[in-house]
Amino acid sequence: MLQNDLLLRVLRGEKTERTPVWMMRQAGRYLPEYMVLREKYGFFERCQTPELAAAITLQPVDIIGVDAAILFSDILVVPQALGLEVQLIESKGPILPNPIKTINDLQRIRIPEVDETLNYVFDAIKLIKQELNGRVPLIGFAGAPWTLLCYMVQGKGSKTFDEAKAFCYTQPELAHQLLQMITDTTIAYLKGQVKAGVDVVQIFDSWGGLLSKEDFETLSLPYIDQIVQALKEETLVIIFAKGAWYSLKEMVATGAHGLGIDWCIAPQIARQFAGSNIVLQGNFDPAKLLSPVPVIEQEVKKMLKDFGGHHHIANLGHGILPNVSVDHAKAFVNTVKEYSLVSTE
Amino acid sequence: MLQNDLLLRVLRGEKTERTPVWMMRQAGRYLPEYMVLREKYGFFERCQTPELAAAITLQPVDIIGVDAAILFSDILVVPQALGLEVQLIESKGPILPNPIKTINDLQRIRIPEVDETLNYVFDAIKLIKQELNGRVPLIGFAGAPWTLLCYMVQGKGSKTFDEAKAFCYTQPELAHQLLQMITDTTIAYLKGQVKAGVDVVQIFDSWGGLLSKEDFETLSLPYIDQIVQALKEETLVIIFAKGAWYSLKEMVATGAHGLGIDWCIAPQIARQFAGSNIVLQGNFDPAKLLSPVPVIEQEVKKMLKDFGGHHHIANLGHGILPNVSVDHAKAFVNTVKEYSLVSTE
């Protein structure tokens, strides 16, 4: 039994005594305790060593007091499991030296046995659950197939992911084949995470918002939908398709329990687009955590008011920035806890 | 008198025999003729030498057959005129080695006499008008004050412009002072462009869409509004605030003649938000020009249909990518010309 199951109750549609809060990338570079481990161990070493992944996952629970832990890992472990080399040069972002460009490249890809290739993640989850010892729920995650295709085809980060798009526009059959392979792997991977003990899964479509509505609903949403269908009976599912405000209604139709939104859509407008029943998660501008603490407090209260107190998980609209001070992160979390407690009484 | 004044007539609200078309960054790296001049001359040399700026401005008119020329220049000439050093390392983007961080930095800034500091732009415009010889209209432009502040404070390109935002959140008075100085300079600069001969001006708010609706309407829109008020009686004005779909209605209220939109908002939805009278400009995904020509043709026709044939200027939703082939750019322009002629008959 969880001591703090606020997040789960909100995702099940229940009214709760206050709004739960966590932060995307909460186990990250703004934490000095994380930086100590980052100096000592490479990125994938941290992901692949259950003790390290567990220690990092627990840091923000201990230090910041968030209402949920999220597995420390990376969306690119799935392309790795599919047989692609992924290098993570931390100042430069990911490099995939042999990206997918042709049908021959696609033939290098194989759908893995996740119990073999991604077992280290499941081991980390089991260890985290032990160490959490019921304090807060654990969120697992995976990248959306479109976002993973972006990296697998472009071979690196990009402002436009134009080569990934060109691949889809010139070789649509190949693109859909690749998206399906990623989807099948992701379903097996997330089911493995659930089996290992995560309480919620979040699907990160970081580059969904680079697509037109029509392309999003062709290249991304159908695969997210498959994942939600496969998972939603056995766990709680959140979709976060950054920037894809135009398809909120269609995302609701998947039956996901929650939708992440970024700060570029006002809470009231998101609610209007998404309807009254779905849980919304977000949407504080991460850069606003660089404001003075009194401004943070005032803006967080405003955000809570704009979301209306229920069916809401407080979060940032994207990952916390490395240059945010720990005190400011705490101000965000504490203001949600205190103010939402008072305002929903 | 102009031989082709389609763009101007559409912006004045008239129905025209077909949809006018131009492309953002149409004088750019996808053109081999541009690359020849790029090899020989530095970026600011090309901007500051009227003969070079004129030659580059005319290239897409001659080669691609667009319905308007747009001045070859850069939004960062305004920060330069305000006294900031701007380096343009072409593979890396702009660097401003002494960005604005404090009140002391702000005191380095002085509002310039645009007739002295930016006279080379006006000379280029006069030369371009001569060489165009009435073939098509000439579009002038400037960056929106918020977008210029982004560079002046961050000191370089950024995915988040978090330091620019932090500057605004922690020192709002200073930020508004800087925005006002940029605005005053921009008004004088655009008036100078009009006096020199441009037929239309476009305000580029490339980073408007990084802001929440509330922040956009505090930090960006009021300054764009000042510019529109100062210019709209003497010329035609287009606002392009990339990503700021949430404030289309508020942009209409400035009285601008046209609004640029990107591909992430469907034409029908943009029309619904912006109302029926304003001219909309856009919104083909630049990456879609990497598709095979038959796909480009089909998608352009679809776009034209979605915009409904009137109050529309066909354009991309952002600048043309350097890796687009000239034939594909021509396919875009020609499809607009041919299909819109037939469909509006």
Q: What are A160-198's pLDDT values in tens digits? A: 999 999 999 999 999 999 999 999 999 999 999 999 999
Q: Please give the pLDDT value at position A343.
A: 64
Q: Please give the pLDDT value at position B10.
A: 98
Which residue, among B92, B169, B295, B296, would best test binding to A if mutated, counting the most A CBs under 10 Å from its CB? B169
**A246/B265 touch (CB, cutoff 8 Å), yes or no:** yes
Paired tokens of B198:
């441009």
Categorize the per-residue pLDDT at A344 as very low, low, confident or very high, splitting at 50, 70 and 90: low
> Is the pLDDT confidence value at B341 over 90?
no
Average predicted confidence (pLDDT) for chain B: 97
In a domain, B244, yes or no: yes
Cβ-Cβ contacts under 8 Å, B287 against chain A: 160-162, 165-166, 169
In a domain, B12, yes or no: yes
A259 contact partners, CB below 8 Å, separation of at least 6 = A238, A239, A240, A248, A251, A252, A270, A274, A278, A279, A280, A281
Q: What are A276-294's pLDDT values in tens digits? A: 999 999 999 999 999 999 9
Give strand pairing partners of A87: A95
d(CA B283, CA B242): 11
Distance from CA of A137 to the nearest CA of B (A): 30
> What CATH number is associated with residue B142?
3.20.20.210
**B323/A162 touch (CB, cutoff 8 Å), yes or no:** yes
- Residues in A lying within 8 Å of B, measured between beta carbons: 159-163, 165-166, 169-170, 209-215, 243, 245-246, 263-266, 269, 285-288, 290-292, 295, 321, 323
In a domain, B1, yes or no: no
Contact A320, A25 (CB under 8 A): yes
Q: What are B69-102's pLDDT values in tens digits? A: 999 999 999 999 999 999 988 778 899 999 999 9
Query: Which residue is closest to A286 within chain B, CA to CA?
Result: B162
In a domain, A143, yes or no: yes
Categorize the per-residue pLDDT at B146 as very low, low, confident or very high, splitting at 50, 70 and 90: very high
Supply φ then ψ for residue B172, to 5 degrees.
-60, -35
Give strand pairing partners of B58: none
Q: What are A319-340's pLDDT values in tens digits? A: 999 999 999 999 999 999 999 9
In a domain, B302, yes or no: yes
Q: What does A283-342 look like in DSSP terms, one character per residue?
A: EE-GGGGGS-HHHHHHHHHHHHHHHTSSSEEEEESSPPPTTS-HHHHHHHHHHHHHHHHH
Cβ-Cβ contacts under 8 Å, A286 against chain B: 160, 162
Q: Please give the pLDDT value at position B117.
A: 97
Categorize the per-residue pLDDT at A341 as very low, low, confident or very high, splitting at 50, 70 and 90: confident
Q: Please give the pLDDT value at position A89.
A: 80
In this predicted complex, what is the ipTM? Answer: 0.96
**B263/A161 touch (CB, cutoff 8 Å), yes or no:** no
Distance from CA of A218 to the nearest CA of B (A): 14
Nearest to A269 among B246, B264, B291 (CB): B246
d(CA A331, CA A187): 36
Cβ-Cβ contacts under 8 Å, B265 against chain A: 213, 246
**A161/B266 touch (CB, cutoff 8 Å), yes or no:** no
**B287/A246 touch (CB, cutoff 8 Å), yes or no:** no
In a domain, A19, yes or no: yes
> Is the pLDDT confidence value at A76 over 70?
yes
Cβ-Cβ contacts under 8 Å, B307 against chain A: none
Which residue, among B246, B264, B271, would best test binding to A if mutated, counting the most A CBs under 10 Å from its CB? B264
> Is the pLDDT confidence value at B343 over 70?
no
Active site residues of A: 25, 29, 38, 74, 151
Distance from CA of B263 to the nearest CA of A (A): 5
Q: Please give the pLDDT value at position A181.
A: 98
Q: What are B2-23's pLDDT values in tens digits? A: 999 999 999 999 999 999 999 9
Average predicted confidence (pLDDT) for chain A: 97
Active site residues of B: 25, 29, 38, 74, 151
Total domain count, chain A: 1
List the domain range (segments joined by +) for residue B40.
Answer: 6-343
Contact A176, B303 (CB under 8 A): no
Compute the half-sphere exposure of residue A324: CA atoms within 13 Å on the CB side of its CA: 31
In a domain, B252, yes or no: yes
Nearest to B263 among A163, A212, A292 (CB): A212
Q: What are A86-145's pLDDT values in tens digits? A: 998 877 889 999 999 999 999 999 999 999 999 999 999 999 999 999 999 999 999 999
Query: Which residue is closest to B270 within chain A, CA to CA?
Result: A246
Q: What are A23-49's pLDDT values in tens digits? A: 999 999 999 999 999 999 999 999 999
> Is the pLDDT confidence value at A345 over 60?
no
A311 contact partners, CB below 8 Å, separation of at least 6 = A10, A13, A276, A277, A278, A279, A280
**B291/A169 touch (CB, cutoff 8 Å), yes or no:** yes
Q: What are B237-258's pLDDT values in tens digits? A: 999 999 999 999 999 999 999 9
Categorize the per-residue pLDDT at B292 as very low, low, confident or very high, splitting at 50, 70 and 90: very high
CA distances from B178 to A273, B84, B110 (A): 36, 13, 10
**A166/B285 touch (CB, cutoff 8 Å), yes or no:** no
Q: What does B262-311 look like in DSSP terms, one character per residue?
A: -TTS-HHHHHHHH-SSSEEEEEE-GGGGGS-HHHHHHHHHHHHHHHTSSS
Distance from CA of B192 to the nearest CA of A (A): 34
Query: Which residue is closest to B207 within chain A, CA to CA?
Result: A264
Q: Please give the pLDDT value at position B344.
A: 55
CB neighbour class for A42 (10 Å; exposed up to 12, middle 13-18, buried from 19): exposed
Strands A93-95 and A87-89: antiparallel
Categorize the per-residue pLDDT at B345 as very low, low, confident or very high, splitting at 50, 70 and 90: very low
Query: Which residue is closest to B162 within chain A, CA to CA?
Result: A287
Query: Which residue is closest to A165 within chain B, CA to CA?
Result: B287
In a domain, A1, yes or no: no
